[in-house]
Structure 1
Amino acid sequence: MARAFGVRGRRVALVGVSGIALVLSACGGTGGGGGATPESLTYLRNVENGNIEPVLQTLADGACSEQNERLPLEVSTIPQAELDAQIQMLGGQDALPVMFAAGGTPAEGARLWDAGMLVDFEAELEELGVLDMIEPAAISTIESLYGGAFNFLPFQFNIEGIFYNREYFTENGFEEPQTWDELLDIAAAFEARGITPFAASGEQGWPITRLVSGYLYRSLGPDALQAVADGDARLTDPEYVEAAAAVADLGARGYFGENIASLDYDSAQNEFLTGNAAMFYMGTWALTAINDPEQNQIGLDNVGFMPFPAVEGGAGSIDQYPSNVGLPSTFNARTYTPEVGDWLRCITENFGELSLRDEQTISGFKPQNPVPDLPELTQDVQQRIADSSETVLWFEALFNAKAGQDSSSNAALLVNGQLSPEDFMSTLQTDLDTD
């Protein structure tokens, strides 16, 4: 069931799953499917992401109102779990919308690029004179994920690191650890004082495996997991098992507390924000909760952020932040016209500032003007992003679906001692071998 409504000259279509293919494929001559000249800026996004559309609608009403008059914004939504299949179907019918969100599997986006279906944003933004409005770190992340090209837009951009309780660190005379060994010393001291060193969700699993990839990137360098994807290394190689063993050792020492297997994401975050845990490895999307005084009981000024520390003798650098771009969006190359290009330029010039001001969400678009009254921690993260030029990915980023699922489901077993580091990595390598 679809319904359309007008807001200041804008048309926004909200389309149910059952009707979405019909609506989008019908856009061949009017809304932007196929290779026809579009008459609207059709945008297919996953329903779970509610941060992007409000910013685009604000742009349609304001800074991009002229563009919206020529190509009205029309938004359709679909559950993320169905997005990959929907994009594949529409691509096969040459009926992709003008703009659409990436599927959940980066390899699918790379296939669309190889098939010539996506806009080359490096070339087009350079032509439009606004390429410098994109953070280099965001471009680096997209290139790593989607076949080596800048072919998706970073409507969201997060780096990952360790949030920590400043008061606990100060009380105990600790400075930010620069090495893994220093981090272990700090964790041991907190555990001895009855403070859980690390909050993490064993139920989700991936907050634990992020530590494994962090160790790998610091010990073997930024290409550690790309080498596995390329077949030049295996997760069962000794230096890879070492990373899993290092994280398993954190669990063996009790540094995650006693109930990690039963903690979900929100509960683990709450452990940190209520002062029950000293540190919390997470992406900067956690700033939403940290900046919320109802959730953050330890106080915003009491939260610090630091990078994953170096591994002594390792090939990685402490300023290579793991990063992601959420579920980014792209443009259909077949329907890219000068009018669509005008929209792209206006989005690039204005999205970063509005997203930060209205949604408190950091994107890969640089704000044109400073946003007033931002919390100090948010400003710190922004500066770290601006200072970064090379990023790395997360543990499962280049895995197939089976390996990704087994990685998350077995992570708690790894740190609880129920699964050895060798068996953990062997299971994942077997999954990769059967792809």
Structure 2
Amino acid sequence: MTPYTRRTALVSAVVATALTLTSCGGTGTGTDPADVAPEGEIVPREISWLLSRPADGGVITVMQQIADEYAEEHPGFSLNLITTPDRPSYIQKYETLATANQLPELFDTDATPFAQKLADQGRMMDIDLLLDDLGLAEDYRTAALDYQRFDDGSLHMVPFEFQLEFFWYNSDLLEQAGTGVPATLDDFPRMCEALRAEGITPIALDGQDHWPLERYLAYYPFRMTGPAYVQDLKNGQASFADPAGRAAVEWLYDLGRAGCFAEGFSSTGYADAQALFTSGGAAVYNIGTWELSNLATESLDPAVRDSVDYFTLPTIDGAATGDDEYVTPSGIGMAVNARTYDPLVRDFLAFALGRYPEVYAATGALSPTRSAETTIPDDATALYTRAVEQADEVGTAIAMPWDTQLDPATNTRLQQELTLLVQGSTTPDEFIETMDATLAENTHE
């Protein structure tokens, strides 16, 4: 079977599955995205949610509990969770179903150019209007909603998470190397060189999944321009050769030459990168508050527990963004399909979104709203409370993860080239030439 045949077979299978999944869905011919309160009888049925989340993760667990509660009051209702945690596979499925106009009632998406097209076609409900109509708009954290917005400011996705991404570090290892927390991004290579001189691995990195290294590429442009550079980049209105892009590429290259990342980082997985840091084998680890239970509780190895701390994204000289502005994602959002939106979907969302913050925050997670207080675990260290409190102090500009912004083809090539750049297998000029050609090819209209 040729690659083309395999792709065709996969697409056909996905579409066929979608037809089966949606055949018992709503019979509406389509709703105006602004008509968030349609009139009519609430008729219980199964509705589906196409997700890109871990099946045993907090969001799905809580939403299933809430759906079961709703079903008790509405016999005949059920929520069908269609889970594809692997993001590349999910994107292929989601875009295929969207092209075939067979998306279910609810579906996950980032604020990508593809999703923007769906919104422009009137295929996603207006979430600003929906939350306002439900009386919930004021409950949400501004940063959680802004993360989901398109470049034009419109909102078509509901957040279910709120995270802060920190640089966790081992103070004992930094002290051993005679270096401190980097005050600026330009201090990173010097920190790494000092740690290497003492035989200490500077930074633990999950290189296998690519996105953690791509986070580093986003940092310098964000400090130089805020979110503007990546917005222009994804729309073909900027290039990697621009000052912000070149600064990012050269900084990553310098990190590689300074030996910042663990040997063999490109084949290191998520769990192994975390274990390297939590065992005291690396000095720094860049990860979000979704790992608080592993980094800020008594489950952390006692040998390193008292020396673990965190700092936020360092600045640069003449930064366009503030110290309180860094990566504060609210995760992949949930869109509401305008084609199948009806009184039942609205009623379920009113119930679920009203109930969700309290149930989710009780698990020890940060709610996307300010209306629910996070339950601090009994075995939490002081860092847990500090991180939770810091969620109320973030600025307005968000360092958007580039893997949620760029088109899949450009993003895949970028991740491949980044590894080569950091390994020293390609120069900054070669990287820029390759990526600008890739960008031009994939953003060409």
Check whether TM > 0.5: yes
Matches within 5 A, 1:110-149: 110-144=116-150, 148-149=153-154
Confirm whether residue 268 of structure 1 aligns to residue 273 of structure 2: yes
Residue 326 of structure 1: aligned partner? 331
Q: 1:178 to 1:430 in 2, by over 3 A?
A: same
Contact 2:49–2:81 (Cα < 8 Å) also in 1: yes
User: 1:149: how far off?
Assistant: 1.8
Return the match for 1:22 from 12, 19, 24.
19
Q: Deviations over 1:184-241 (max 9, x none)?
A: 4443432332222211233333322311210111123331212223444310124421
Amino acid at match of 1:119: M
Return the match for 2:82 from 77, 93, 106.
77
Q: Matched residue of 2:165: which SS?
A: strand
Deviates more, 1:126-135 or 1:250-259: 250-259
Residue 212 of structure 1: aligned partner? 217
Residue 418 of structure 1: aligned partner? 425
Q: Matched residue of 2:124: which SS?
A: coil
Return the match for 1:109 from 115, 133, 156.
115
Q: Distance in 2 between matches of 1:70 and 1:296?
A: 48
Q: Matched residue of 1:198: which SS?
A: strand
Confirm whether residue 287 of structure 1 aligns to residue 298 of structure 2: no
Return the match for 2:194 from 185, 189, 194.
189
Amino acid at match of 1:43: S
Q: Distance in 2 between matches of 1:121 and 1:276?
A: 45
Residue 362 of structure 1: aligned partner? 366
Matches within 5 A, 1:336-347: 336-347=341-352
Return the match for 2:410 from 399, 403, 408.
403
Tell me the TM-score normalised to structure 1 length. Answer: 0.82
Matches within 5 A, 1:292-303: 296=301, 298-300=303-305, 302-303=307-308
Q: Distance in 2 between matches of 1:240 and 1:394?
A: 15
Matches within 5 A, 1:165-204: 165-169=170-174, 176-204=181-209
Q: 1:247 to 1:39 in 2, by over 3 A?
A: same
Q: 1:153 to 1:239 in 2, by over 3 A?
A: closer
Contact 2:190–2:258 (Cα < 8 Å) also in 1: no
Q: Matched residue of 1:434: which SS?
A: helix
Q: Distance in 1 between matches of 2:61 and 2:351?
A: 15
Q: Distance in 2 between matches of 1:27 and 1:430?
A: 45
Residue 371 of structure 1: aligned partner? 375
Contact 1:101–1:329 (Cα < 8 Å) also in 2: yes
Confirm whether residue 381 of structure 1 aligns to residue 378 of structure 2: no
Contact 1:351–1:367 (Cα < 8 Å) also in 2: no
Residue ranges of structure 2 left out of the alignment (5+ in a row): 1-12, 32-39
Amino acid at match of 1:59: I
Amino acid at match of 1:114: D
Deviates more, 1:380-389 or 1:191-200: 380-389
Residue 11 of structure 1: aligned partner? none
Contact 2:147–2:400 (Cα < 8 Å) also in 1: yes
User: 1:33: how far off?
Assistant: 8.4
Q: Distance in 2 between matches of 1:325 and 1:65?
A: 27
- Number of residue pairs matched? 414
Q: Deviations over 1:132-167 (max 9, x none)?
A: 22211111111147x632211112333323111244
Contact 1:117–1:333 (Cα < 8 Å) also in 2: yes
Residue 223 of structure 1: aligned partner? 228
Q: Distance in 2 between matches of 1:301 and 1:342?
A: 48
Q: 1:422 to 1:34 in 2, by over 3 A?
A: same
Deviates more, 1:158-167 or 1:76-85: 76-85
Amino acid at match of 2:222: Y
Q: 1:422 to 1:25 in 2, by over 3 A?
A: same
Residue 5 of structure 2: aligned partner? none
Deviates more, 1:200-209 or 1:405-414: 200-209
Residue 35 of structure 2: aligned partner? none
Residue 263 of structure 2: aligned partner? 258
Residue 8 of structure 2: aligned partner? none
Percent identical pairs in the alignment equals 26
Contact 1:289–1:296 (Cα < 8 Å) also in 2: no
User: 1:171: how far off?
Assistant: 6.3
Q: Matched residue of 1:336: which SS?
A: coil
Q: Distance in 2 between matches of 1:144 and 1:163?
A: 30
Q: Matched residue of 2:183: which SS?
A: coil
Matches within 5 A, 1:46-85: 46=51, 48-50=53-55, 51=57, 52-62=59-69, 64=70, 69=74, 72-79=77-84, 80=86, 81-84=88-91
Q: Matched residue of 1:279: which SS?
A: strand
Q: Distance in 2 between matches of 1:338 and 1:265?
A: 42
Q: Distance in 2 between matches of 1:350 and 1:330?
A: 18
Residue 10 of structure 2: aligned partner? none
Q: 1:262 to 1:41 in 2, by over 3 A?
A: same
Contact 1:219–1:310 (Cα < 8 Å) also in 2: no
User: 1:248: how far off?
Assistant: 1.2
User: 1:434: how far off?
Assistant: 0.3
Q: Distance in 1 between matches of 2:318 and 2:249?
A: 18
Q: Distance in 2 between matches of 1:229 and 1:193?
A: 41
